[in-house]
Amino acid sequence: MHIGKAIRLERIFNRNTHRTIIVPMDHGVTVGPIAGLEKMRDTVTNLVAGGANAGLVHKGQVKLGHRMQGRDFGCIVHLSAGTCLSPFPNVKRLVTTVEEAIRLGADGVSVHVNLGDETEGQMLSDLGSVAASASEWGMPLLAMVYARGPKVSDEYAPDVVAHCARVGAELGADVVKVNYPGDADSFAKVVECACVPVVIAGGAKLDSTRDFLDMVRVSIDAGGAGLSVGRNVFQHADPTRLVEVLNRIVHMGMTVDESLEGYEDIL
């Protein structure tokens, strides 16, 4: 591996466990300034205090989340965007480049692809182009790949999720982010077929913190490399303590019950 890429990956992944807790905070473009993202610097401070490994943001939020003090925090710059106000909300277009992300001090970049959309071909082309540029610069690439389109009846179906993961890997991603298909056996097959580290998405905010923690634990047991979850983390009543519990699960190997000892109030 390119030494620059290896070094940057260690700013995103724990170098001892080879797992990660990534918190995406790119929602402001997609759905607006939702709860938890009103003051980016405060949000980042809370996540860092809990021990999150990295955050994922659009280019304009890099400076807003820069704290100039405290522990370091991996920075992933998201290169693609689209809004819920568009008549084509599943379309994601590139809005910046690997080179600009490097100038911003990024440790990695990410691209979003929705398989099944009418513009799938352009999104796949963009992913391939970004992968080539990222490889040239030694920049880790995270591909968020989902199945969303008129032919997709269930984006969480195991074979569909496995297809998404494989597309990201085949087109050059170093890490792929996909939906959790719902059970350990199905996700284990996704991980096995991906051939690169796989992290789970969180989707819409869950009603139960316990359900979220159970999902994370099962995904780790099935071979997952961690999580890339936004709303279920930064919209929690106490994001710092929640991330501390996630650290116990992801990096310390604790069960959910063990991880909650002394943290029962977060449920």
**Residues 112 and 164: beta-carbon distance below 8 Å:** no
**Residues 25 and 65: beta-carbon distance below 8 Å:** yes
Pick the catalytic residue: 92, 146, 180, 189? 146
For residue 146, the cross-strand partners are 114
- Determine whether 146 is an active site residue: yes
Q: For the purposes of burial, counting CB atoms within 10 Å of the CB of 87, is it exposed (0-12), middle (13-18) or buried (19 or more)?
A: exposed
**Residues 143 and 123: beta-carbon distance below 8 Å:** no
**Residues 237 and 209: beta-carbon distance below 8 Å:** no
The answer for residues whose C-beta is within 8 angstroms of residue 128's C-beta and 6 or more apart is 171, 172
Residue type, position 67, single letter: R
Q: Which residue in the block uniquely carries the two structure tokens 């405060």?
A: 42
How many angstroms separate the Cα of 17 from the Cα of each of 34, 102, 146, 221? 32, 26, 26, 13
- Determine whether 177 is an active site residue: yes
Pick the catalytic residue: 59, 177, 180, 189? 177
Q: Where are the alpha helices (DSSP H) in 31-119?
A: 40-50, 62-65, 98-103
- Residues with a known catalytic role: 146, 177
